[in-house]
Structure 1
Amino acid sequence: MERWEGKIAIVTGASAGIGAATAKILVKKGLKVVGLARRVELIEELTLSLTEAPGELYAVKCDLSKEEEILDALKWVKENLGPVHILVNNAGFVRPTNLIEKTTDDWRLTFDVNVIAMCICTREAVKVMREHNIAGHVINLNSLVGRYPVSLPHPNLNVYPASKYAVTALTENLRQEFRYFNTGIKVTSISPGIVISDFQEGFCKDGTLEAMRSGPVLYPEDVAEAIVYTLSTPPHVQVHDIFMHPLGEML
């Protein structure tokens, strides 16, 4: 990780869960981390626990469903801190609806945050990396539901798995583009199983949450450690995919 010390990392959805854990561990590794989220006050609170860390954490308010806010946030990073070296596309969204009864708006927002925002953030970050000849790293937070079908007691994931299948395809597309254009930039997809996180509170109101948490689980810090592992590999090593199950998980 020494080569990343003092460099800039952007973490989307950094207010809680995996995003907060990732921001925290990267600051402790000496990076300048920019956390993007709507609940920017939670990132500001996190900075108070990192005053002795060798890196720094910056909180930037950003609604990832709005392109203009993403563009403004990344522009702020470039103008005030410098070029980005690492992008962690962590922000995600899902709402408990199904495919045969509920409204279109929730489905659209899921794709806006999980797919379109990821593409916008990646495009803008990679643009900066290429302008400055930076062999950076893009990390996409995926899910096991984006790799194969998963059955839950109540079918309330609606378009969420489809959005994560898109992340799987886009990550491979990026790998091919980075190779074709000889950028030296890496891309990694990390697909965890059940992770204890505030994120789950948004779509498990029918007993599914209790059922999920009654078995083996991962914690945000486990996924953050996996991110550090991928960043720690030598420049010639491309870790493209990581699957993470808690030991004994049935998914």
Structure 2
Amino acid sequence: METYAGRVALVTGASSGIGAAVVQALLRKGLTVVGLARRVDRIKALELKDAPGKLYAVEGDVTKEESITSAFKWISDNLDGVDVLVNNAGVYHDGDLTSSDTEAWRRTLEVNVLGLCICTREAVQDMLRRGVDDGFIVHIGSVAGHCPPDDGTSAMYSASKHAVRVLLEGLRKDLVAKKSKIRVGEISPGLVNTEIITNSTSWTPDIFEELPHMEPEDVADALLFMLSRHPRVQVYDIVMYPTGSE
């Protein structure tokens, strides 16, 4: 991790859950962390007085391209640019494919897929422009991207996470073609104790009392492992299941 001490990391969806845990883990490793989310006050509350890293809270919405590009401009103007991007922002809506609300589908794809793509494009272009050849792009995916949906109600979410896997491989090949050493990777966790069930009609917070699950810090630890490998090693996908889960 010494490679990235003092460097700039952008974490989307930073106000809670996995994003918040990642922010604090990177601060402890000495990175300058920009947390991007709509709830900027919650990002500010993540500051760690005893950590060597510096936190900047930036208000942004990954469903709006102008919000993303504005955030990258602020980083470029004030912090030189992004060296590590963690595409963490994600939403979950359940509902069957024969009667669900179009807006729920649109938001799922805008956050989980299109927003991720725009952030990735802006980060890579910024790195290439500055000659950064040791940057890292990490997508927070899901085990849902590795297997068929459990049922019809989770199909759109699963489809969005399958898309993340395909986009990761496309990005890797794009960077290879450009002869860039920027590394990419994905972390695919199972059930994690976060607020993602807020938009679920079939899950309730009781699920974390009933089913095996992980904590956001577990995913943040996996991210640190990925970043800390030797530059010749590209840890491409870390799949994480809660112990005892089916």
TM-score normalised by length of structure 2: 0.96
Partner deviation per Cα, 1:89-133 (whole Å, 9 max, x = no partner): 000012232211122111011101100011100000001111112
Name the counterpart of 2:68: 70
Partner deviation per Cα, 1:37-88 (whole Å, 9 max, x = no partner): 01111001112xx122100111000011000000001110110111211000
Name the counterpart of 1:46: 46
Would you say 1:185 and 2:187 are equivalent positions?
no
- Mark the CA change 1:147 to 1:172 in structure 2 (over 3 Å): closer, same or farther: same
Equivalent residue runs for 1:156-195 within 5 Å: 156-195=153-192
Note if contact 2:72-2:81 (Cα within 8 Å) is conserved in structure 1: no
Distance in 2 separating the partners of 1:97 and 1:215? 21
Following TM superposition, the consecutive aligned residue runs of length 4 or more in structure 1 with deviations greater than 3 angstroms are 205-213
Distance in 1 separating the partners of 2:51 and 2:199? 32
1:180 CA displacement: 1.1
Note if contact 1:196-1:213 (Cα within 8 Å) is conserved in structure 2: no
Query: Unaligned stretches of 5+ in structure 1?
Result: none
Distance in 2 separating the partners of 1:160 and 1:213? 23
The one-letter amino acid of 2:16's match is A
Equivalent residue runs for 1:145-156 within 5 Å: 145-151=144-150, 155-156=152-153
Query: Unaligned stretches of 5+ in structure 2?
Result: none
- Mark the CA change 1:28 to 1:207 in structure 2 (over 3 Å): closer, same or farther: closer
The one-letter amino acid of 1:125's match is A
SS in 2 for 1:58: strand
Distance in 1 separating the partners of 2:164 and 2:57? 25
Note if contact 1:144-1:192 (Cα within 8 Å) is conserved in structure 2: yes
1:207 CA displacement: 4.7
Equivalent residue runs for 1:1-251 within 5 Å: 1-47=1-47, 50-134=48-132, 135-151=134-150, 155-203=152-200, 205-207=201-203, 210-211=206-207, 213-250=209-246
**How many residue pairs align between the two structures?**
245
Query: Identical aligned pairs, as a percentage?
Result: 45
Distance in 2 separating the partners of 1:213 and 1:59? 32
- Mark the CA change 1:213 to 1:181 in structure 2 (over 3 Å): closer, same or farther: farther
TM-score normalised by length of structure 1: 0.94
The one-letter amino acid of 2:243's match is L
The one-letter amino acid of 1:206's match is S
SS in 2 for 1:248: coil
Note if contact 1:140-1:167 (Cα within 8 Å) is conserved in structure 2: yes
Partner deviation per Cα, 1:173-221 (whole Å, 9 max, x = no partner): 1111111111100000110000000112221x43565346412111100
